[in-house]
Structure formats: C-alpha cells, structure tokens
Amino acid sequence: MQLTLNGRTALITGGSKGLGLAIAKAYAGAGGHVALVARGAEALSKAEAEVRAAAAPGVKVAAIPADISTADGCERAFGATQDALGQVDILVNNAGTSQRGPFLEISDALWQADLDLKLFAAIRLTRLAFPGMQARRWGRIINVLNIGAKAPLAASAPTSVTRAAGMALTKVLANEGAPHNVLVNALLVGIIESDQWVRRFAQEKRDISWEDWKAEQGKAVPLGRIGKAEEFAAMALLLVSEQCGYVTGTAINVDGGRSPVV
C-alpha cells in the first residue's frame, strides 16, 4: 500500500525537532506540502532543509517561527501558512514537551503555561482551520498526546491533565467534524526516541552511553525497546491518508504496548 497526500497542505506545530520533524518528512515524502511551526528560528532553518531533502518532487515547504502559546502567535502561524502554501487541509497539534512533578510543587504559572502551549494552542489553531475544512468537506486533524492521558501516574501533572483534556477535545471535534468529512484523531506517545529524550538523557549526567541508556529505558516496554520517531510518523501519515477515511474519534497508543489501557 502506497500512501500519498496528493498536494494536501499540512501545518505541523513543534515541527522543528523530534516527532514533528519526523511527521513533516513523512508527509513531504508522500507528496504533501508542509508548514513547520516552532519558536526557534535556527532549529526551523535546519529542519526545513531536512524536510526539503526528504520531499517528493514539487512539494513546497515553509518554516514559520511563531509562539503558539498565545492567541496572536496562533493567528500569525496560520496566516503565514496560508500565505505560503494556501489552504490548510491537515493540522497536527504536536507542540509541547513533558512537564511533570509532585502536585504540590506545581505553580499556577506552570499550569497556565502547559495549558496555553498544549491545549489552548490546539483549540485556537483548530478554530482557525475548521471552517475551511468544513467548507471543502475534507480535513484531517491529529492531536499528539501521551499515554498519561488515559492512565495518569503520580507526579505526572500538569502534562497528564492537559493531555487528558486534549483527548476530550479530540472526541468533541471528531463528532462535530464527521458530518463534514473532517476527521479528528489522537496519537498517544509512549517512550519514543526524540529530542526530548536526548535532553532527558543529558540532564541525568550519568556515566552511561546513549545506546545503553536507550536499552535501559526499553526494559519498561513490552516490546523491549523504545520507539523510533519514524514509526510514529508512519501512523500519523496513515491517519491523514485517504486509506484511513473511516477512522475518526480514536486515541491510538503508539507505545510498544506500555500503556495499561487500550
């Protein structure tokens, strides 16, 4: 089965690194135009070059620096995508890193920052994209969450709470979008090799190699290893393809079996 996007345009937040970058490469390789949205201009420039190298002939790529934790940032990102690439057919709400700690140590400011970047950015960008998708009777939205949305652990706030709200948002939007052929799904991340895990490895400052550290983390996964960003991106590509046109309102674990909840 060959998956193609046939010139559809995707806006991907958190698109300069990790999962967002892997998704962008998969979409561009399948013939989709891609807008990479992130805060860091230097990382965006590097990501743009990587995506262009992976892109199919004729694919357009735009790198858009924006802070989507604000309403103005969301509007700028969406407007710049339309200016560069035209209508937005696919929205991937991927921005955000894991913020977690003991509940009593989490300040109001940290709660608000997490909600703004992960939940409100998805709300605001979807509000901008939804009308055009409905009018054209074609749209795909993916909310990238994590497995804590279904099975939160102790000291997993604020991320698990914010991501659980994102899962509820996914179902609301799926029900409203279905009559218009706008499909909305969530992908729940387990332990997948990405920039976030590289940073966590560096912060631990242990006398252990990156490969040994990955093997150690993989022991907690039934498949016995951590995942690859490309594996996650493959599922993200399938969900926005025509071959997956009857799937909406789902929250799919991409975690090697680690989640205790289906």
Q: What is the CATH number of the domain that holds 39?
A: 3.40.50.720
Q: Is 117 helix (H, G, I), strand (E, B) or coil?
A: helix
Q: Tokens representing 10?
A: 């995707």
Place of tokens 């979807």: 126
Query: Do both 37 and 133 map to the same domain?
Result: yes
Q: Please tell me the predicted confidence (pLDDT) of residue 198.
A: 81
Q: Please tell me the predicted confidence (pLDDT) of residue 11.
A: 99
Structural domain including 209 reads 196-226
Query: Do both 67 and 113 map to the same domain?
Result: yes
Residues with pLDDT less than 50, the chain: none
Query: Do both 86 and 183 map to the same domain?
Result: yes
Q: Please tell me the predicted confidence (pLDDT) of residue 60.
A: 98
**In angstroms, rounded to a whole number, what is the distance separating the alpha carbons of residues 206 and 88?**
44
* Tens digits of residue pLDDT in 204-239: 888 899 899 999 999 999 999 999 999 999 999 999
**In angstroms, rounded to a whole number, what is the distance separating the alpha carbons of residues 252 and 169?**
15
Domain-embedded: residue 213: yes
Domain-embedded: residue 3: no
The DSSP-derived string for 176-218 is HHGGGTEEEEEEEE-SB-SHHHHHHHHHH--SS-HHHHHHHHH
Q: Please tell me the predicted confidence (pLDDT) of residue 236.
A: 98
- Which residues, in sequence order, are bridge partners of residue 251? 186
Reported pTM: 0.96
Place of tokens 């901008």: 128
Amino acid at 208: I
Q: Tokens representing 191?
A: 């332990």
CB neighbourhood size of 29 (10 A): 20
Query: Do both 237 and 219 map to the same domain?
Result: no
